[in-house]
Structure 1
Amino acid sequence: MAEAKLTIEEIEKIQQLLEKGYTAKELAKKYGVDRSTIYRQVKYRYSAKRMPLEVKNKIIKKIKEGYTKAEAAQMYNVPLSTVLWFTKGLPSIRHEGTHIIRKHGIELLRRLLRDGCLVSNFVPATVRNLQRHFPMIRSARFKNRTIFYLEGREEETIEAFFRENPSRVINYSSIEELAFLLGVKISKKEQKNLLEKYRKKRETYLRSIRLIQLTLNHFCDEEDIEWAKPSFRLMPRRKNFEVIGEGK
C-alpha cells in the first residue's frame, strides 16, 4: 500500500498546529497519514521532486559562494541526500565530509599537545579530520605504521616510536632512516643514547616472548612425564586378509 503524501499547504498547516500544541498522533489521524510521515515531512519541508526552483537556486548559490553541500542543506532545512541529488554536476569548493571534532578527536588532540606525537592507540581517520583544522599536524609512514606528530617535535617522535614499539629492531640505520623521513638530523651521540636506552627494553621484550613460547619439554625431561593412557582399545592386526570376491 502506497504511503499517503502531504501537500506543501498541508505541511505549513501542520507546522502551525504543532506550534499551537497539537500532537503528531492527533495530526496523523486528522490527515490520514502515519505519524512518521508527520515527523519526516515536517522536519524536512521539501523533497527532491517538489522543491521550488527558487529554493534550489538559493542552495546552488550558497555552494558557489564557498559553503559545503551539507551546510547549504542545513541552512534551508533540506535533506543532504536531496541536495546531493540535484547538485551532482556541481563541484564543492571546500572538502566535503565531517567537520566536527568529537570527544575522541579532542582526546587525541590533547595527547598530541602533551606528547608531541601519536604512534599507537589511535584511529587514523580521526586524526586526518584534525589535520583539516590544524595544518601543523604532520604525518609520516614508517615500517608499515602511520605516525602523526607536531611540527618542531620530531626528536620526541623518534624516541616515542622506539619506546612504544619494542618489537622493532633498533640500530643506527633505523634511527637515521626515521630521522631522514621526518626531516631532522640526529648526532651520533644522541643515536648512541637511544640505542643504550631502548636496546635493553627490546631484549626484555624478546625474552618475555621466548618464555611464552616455551613448551613442557623445556621444564622437565620426557622420561619424567607420565603420559595418559588411551581410553580406547586398539584392535589387533590380522595376519591373513580375505579379499572380497575371491575364494578362501
Structure 2
Amino acid sequence: MHFEQITTLKRVLGLLKQISRESVYIHTKNSKNNLHFSTINKERTVLLDLMLLKEETITHSSKEKKQKFSLRTGKLFYDIMDAVENGSIVNLEFEDESLSVKVIYEDIKFKSILSSYLDGFIGFPPSNEKIVFNISGEKMFHGLNLLSKFKNDLHVRVESNELSIESLSELGSTKLIIPSKTSFEENKTLSNNSVYDYEIIKPLINASKLSNNIEMNFQWNEKIKDNVIVAKCNLKDYNGYAKYLFTPKGVLNGIS
C-alpha cells in the first residue's frame, strides 16, 4: 500500500502507540482496499482497530492483489515509522511471513524486511446498535479534557438518554453529561454503574480531537457480567476511523 502523505499515517500510528507499542496487527476484512491497523493492551483491557481507506491496491505476495489477510509484527515497525521524515513516500508490501517497508526521501531509498506472523485480530463483541450516542468530537474532547484533571476512577452510566461519566475523590468530584442525538428505549440489562480506570479511557482524548463525530455504544457483556464501551471515532480528513473497546477493571480475554 502506497502512502504519499506520511503525516497522515504517522498521526494514526500515534493513536496506536498510546495503547501499546509491543505489537501491531495489520489486516483487511474483505476484498475492498480498507487497511486496518490494530493493537491490544491486555493490562489496561483496551482494544483499538484503526481503519484507513485508500484508493491504492494492497500488495500481497499472491497473484490476487486484493486479498483478505491478517498479520502481526513487532515494535520495530513503530520505531521505523517514528524515524521516517515528513515528505517521504512509504510503501508497505505484505508477505506471508514478512512485511516490506520501502521509504523514498528525495534521492534516498530505504528498504526493511520485518518478521511477521499470520495472526488474526481478536476483534470486537457484537454491538447493540439501539444504544448509540452520536457526539461531536470537539465536544467530547473538551469534556474529557476537563474530566481528566481528576485522574480518578470513572463511573459510567446511562440515565434518560444521557451518558454520564463521573469522577470522585476526597478532593472533590466532576461529572460529564453527554446527551444522545437520538432517543432509545431504556435497556433494562444495563447495570446502573460501571467503573473504569482513568488510564483506560485516557487515549480517547486525543482521538476525539482528531474526530468529527464519535459513536459511543455502552452495552452489557454477558461473558464478563459488566458493561463495555465501544467508541468509533470518525477521523477528520482521513476517510477512516479509530474504534476503541474499553472494558471495566477485569479480564479482556473471551469477551468477543
**TM-score normalised per structure 2:** 0.19
Considering only CA atoms, is the larger Rg found in Structure 1 or Structure 2?
A: 1
Highest RCO, 1 vs 2 (Cα 8 Å, sep ≥ 6): 2
**TM-score normalised per structure 1:** 0.19
> Whose strand proportion is higher, 1 or 2?
2
